[in-house]
Every structure is written in C-alpha cells, then in structure tokens.
Structure 1
Amino acid sequence: MIKLQSITKTYKLGAQDVPVLKDISLQVNHGDFLAIMGPSGSGKSTLMNIIGCLDRATTGTYELDGENITSYNEFQLSKIRNQSIGFVFQQFQLLPRLTALKNVELPMVYAGVKKAERQERALEALEKVGLQDRVHHLPNALSGGQKQRVAIARALVNKPSMILADEPTGALDTKTSAQIMDLLTQLNEEGTTILIVTHEQEVADYTKSTIVVRDGVIVEQQNGQGLSI
C-alpha cells in the first residue's frame, strides 16, 4: 500500500540546510495499524505529513497503492488527500459554525458529491461513531471526545484506504482517550489501515506495530507485543 524508499527531507533556514528526515525506508500494508513514535523534533510529524501528501520529500520515492506519486503535482496530491486519506488531528479541526453533520459533509463537498448523498453518508458515518443523537450540534456544544468522533466520522466519510491520526488523544482525558482508541481499533479490525503519530506508549500499545523515529531516522521497529522486528 505505502512504500517509502530512501526518503529525506531538508528545510532551508536562511543559508543553512536543516535535515529533518534522513534515508527513511518504510512499507505499510493494507490493514496495518501502525504507531509512529519519537521525541519532539524527531521528524515523526514530518514523516506523517509526507505520507499524507501534505508535504514533499526532498529526495527518495513514494509509492501509494502501486503508483509512484513522488512527482505528482499539487492538484494530483489534493485528489489523493481527498479520496484516499482520512485525517484526524489533535485539536479536531472542526469548523465552529458548522454542525457535526455539516463538518462531516465537507470532504464530500470538495469531492463533488451531490447534497442528498452527502447527507446520507454523513449520517451513516456519525452513526458509526455513536453520534447519531448529536448530528445537529455545533462543536462548542460537544465534549472533546465527541469532537474527536466527529473528526473520525469526517475522516471516514469518503471511504479512504487509510486514516492518518496525529496525536488523536493528545487533547483528551484518559477515559476518553481509551474510548477513541477502542473506536480506531474497531475500524482497523473492519479493514481500515491506520497510522498514528503519538508520544504516548499507552496509545502505541493499541497498535499492531510501532516504529520509533529519532534524529530523522527509524531507530527501532516493534510488533504489538513490544518485540523488535
């Protein structure tokens, strides 16, 4: 599904080159549930951004579903982001003036889905995450856990091949975090590929495998039992 080969990312800081990722090679298969861990500044979020087509590698190749997308233009990448990848963020990224239903509909608006189908699919997605009784609530009338469920419904609504979750429990309490991870686990068991960026071992313990990024390189890979692979 995902194949990264010799990926590097270097940023310009004035006249200085600042390397963030250094020779990253990674393969993710359909149905994987992967945690990407590492300290602040390790490069884990940059890696997630490249996988999510939000940023480009400086060198290396990126294959997605058998297609080399390394040199895709911005229009092609935006189409991949809309149709193939669902995003879940720590701060939810919901539009405050839109109801839960309208927030979930947004990716389908960009995809050109007709209104009646948008509403039907959004309602189905909200029901899937247990929010069928909150569809007309604005974000400020929802708890943190409910906001994250709306975000997950929005990520699911275009039926992407994978979900990328960047610190999805970072703004939640322990009990709510467990509920969100249980939901993501259920989605993975139903066949959705999920990648999570986290600094919390408790979150990584839910996944099937973990990679640890430090100083721009993968320094460790573990299976779900914490065993190096």
Structure 2
Amino acid sequence: MIRLEEITKSYPIGKDKIDVLKSINLTIEKGEFVAIMGPSGSGKSTLMNIIGCLDKPTSGSYFLDHEDVSRYKDAELAKVRNESLGFVFQQFQLLPKLNAVKNVELPMIYSGIAKKDRLSRAKAALEKVGLADRMEHLPNELSGGQKQRVAIARAIVNEPKLILADEPTGALDTKTSISIMEEFSRLNKEGTTVVIVTHEPEIAQYANRTIFVRDGIIVSHDWMKRGQDL
C-alpha cells in the first residue's frame, strides 16, 4: 500500500541545509498496524507528514496504492488526503463551536457529499466509536477520551484506506489511552491500515510492527505478535 524509495527531506538554513530524512526506504502493506518511534528531532514526524501527503520529499518517490504521489501538485495531494487518508492528532483539532456530529461531518463537506447523507454517515461513525449519546455535545462538554473518539470518527467517516495518528494518546491518561488504542486495534482488525507516531513503548505494543527512526534514518524494524506483552 505504501512504498517509499530513497526519500530525503532537507530544509535550508542560511547557506546550508539540514537533512531531516536521509534515503528512507520503507514498505507498509495493506492491513498493517505500524508504529513509528524515535527521539525528538529524529525525523519521525516529518516521515509521518510525507506519508500523509502533508509535505513533499526533497527527493525520492512515494507510492501510495501504486501511484507516485510525490509528483502530485498541491490540489492533487489535497484530494488524496480527503478521499484516502484519515488523520488523528494529539490535540484533537476539533472546532470548538461545532458539536460532535458537525465536527465529524467536516471531511464530507469537502468531498461534496449531500447534507442528508453527511448527517447519517456522521451519526453512524460516532455510534461506531461508542458516542451515540454524545452527538450533540460541544467539544468543551466532552472528556479527553471522548474528544479523541470524535476525532477518530471524523477520520473514518470517509472510509479511508489509511489512518495516520500522531501521538494520539499524548494528552490522555493511561486508562483512556488503552481505550483509544483498543479502538485503533478494532479498526485495524476490520481491515483499515493504521500508522501511528508515538514515544510510548506501551502504545507501540499495539502495533504489529515498530519502526525506529534516529537521525533521519530507519535504524530497525521490530515485528511483534500484537498483544504479546500487554
């Protein structure tokens, strides 16, 4: 599903440049659950941004479902993000003046889906993550875990091929984090490919493969039988 070939990412610093990613080669198969780990400044978030079509590599190729999206223009990348990818962020990124169901509807508005269909699909997504009784609540009326479930519902409402989650439990307590990771596991078992960035080993254990990034390179892959140490 995902194939990165010799991906590099550099940023200019005055007359010099800093290499954030260095000749990254990576394949992620459809249906995998992958965690990306590494210290601060390792390049893991930049790698996630490229996989999520939020940033372009300086060089190399990125194939998503056999399409070289690294050559796409901004409008084409926006279409890929909206139709094929779902995003979950550490700080939820919910609009404070919209209730849960309206927040979940947002990706469908950009997709041009009819209003009546948006509402029914948004409600179904919230029911799927266990929030049937919180649809009319504003974000400030929800707990941290409930906000993240709204974010997950928003991520899955367009039925994406791939869910990308950047530190999805970073703002949550341990009990709530377990609940959220179990939700990701359930979605993965239903066939959705999931890639998360985390600095927490206990969170990475939910994945069946952990990729370690350091100084802009992938230093190892750790294959696990999901749940073996939980």
Same topology, TM > 0.5 = yes
Match of 1:138 in 2: 138
How many angstroms does 1:221 deviate by? 0.3
Residue segments in structure 1 that go unaligned for 5+ positions in a row = none
Using the alignment, how far apart are the partners of 2:190 and 2:71 within structure 1? 32
Using the alignment, how far apart are the partners of 1:147 and 1:70 within structure 2? 32
Alignment of 1:1-229 (within 5 A): 1-225=1-225
What is the identity, as a one-letter code, of the residue corresponding to 1:140?
Answer: N
What is the identity, as a one-letter code, of the residue corresponding to 1:125?
Answer: A
How many angstroms does 1:225 deviate by? 4.8
Using the alignment, how far apart are the partners of 1:198 and 1:109 within structure 2? 30
What is the identity, as a one-letter code, of the residue corresponding to 2:116?
Answer: A
What is the identity, as a one-letter code, of the residue corresponding to 1:143?
Answer: S
Deviations 1:78-103 (A, max 9, x none): 00000000000000000000000000
Using the alignment, how far apart are the partners of 2:104 and 2:186 within structure 1? 19
Deviations 1:101-133 (A, max 9, x none): 000000000000000000000000000000000
Using the alignment, how far apart are the partners of 1:61 and 1:189 within structure 2? 29
The secondary structure found in structure 2 opposite 1:70 is helix
Using the alignment, how far apart are the partners of 1:198 and 1:168 within structure 2? 8
Using the alignment, how far apart are the partners of 2:122 and 2:203 within structure 1? 27
How many angstroms does 1:14 deviate by? 1.9
How many angstroms does 1:159 deviate by? 0.3
With structure 1 as the length reference, what TM-score do the two structures score? 0.98
The secondary structure found in structure 2 opposite 1:45 is helix
Report how many aligned residue pairs link the two structures: 227
Using the alignment, how far apart are the partners of 1:67 and 1:20 within structure 2? 24
Using the alignment, how far apart are the partners of 1:133 and 1:78 within structure 2? 32
Using the alignment, how far apart are the partners of 2:186 and 2:178 within structure 1? 12
Deviations 1:166-198 (A, max 9, x none): 000000000000000001000000000000000
Using the alignment, how far apart are the partners of 2:100 and 2:224 within structure 1? 34
Deviations 1:142-174 (A, max 9, x none): 000000000000000000000000000000000
The secondary structure found in structure 1 opposite 2:70 is coil
What is the identity, as a one-letter code, of the residue corresponding to 1:4?
Answer: L
With structure 2 as the length reference, what TM-score do the two structures score? 0.97
Using the alignment, how far apart are the partners of 1:15 and 1:103 within structure 2? 43
The secondary structure found in structure 1 opposite 2:148 is helix
What is the identity, as a one-letter code, of the residue corresponding to 1:53?
Answer: C
Using the alignment, how far apart are the partners of 2:111 and 2:2 within structure 1? 23
Percent of aligned positions that are identical: 63
Query: Please, what is the CA RMSD of the aligned residues?
Result: 1.1
Divergent runs of 4+, >2 A? none
What is the identity, as a one-letter code, of the residue corresponding to 2:76?
Answer: Q
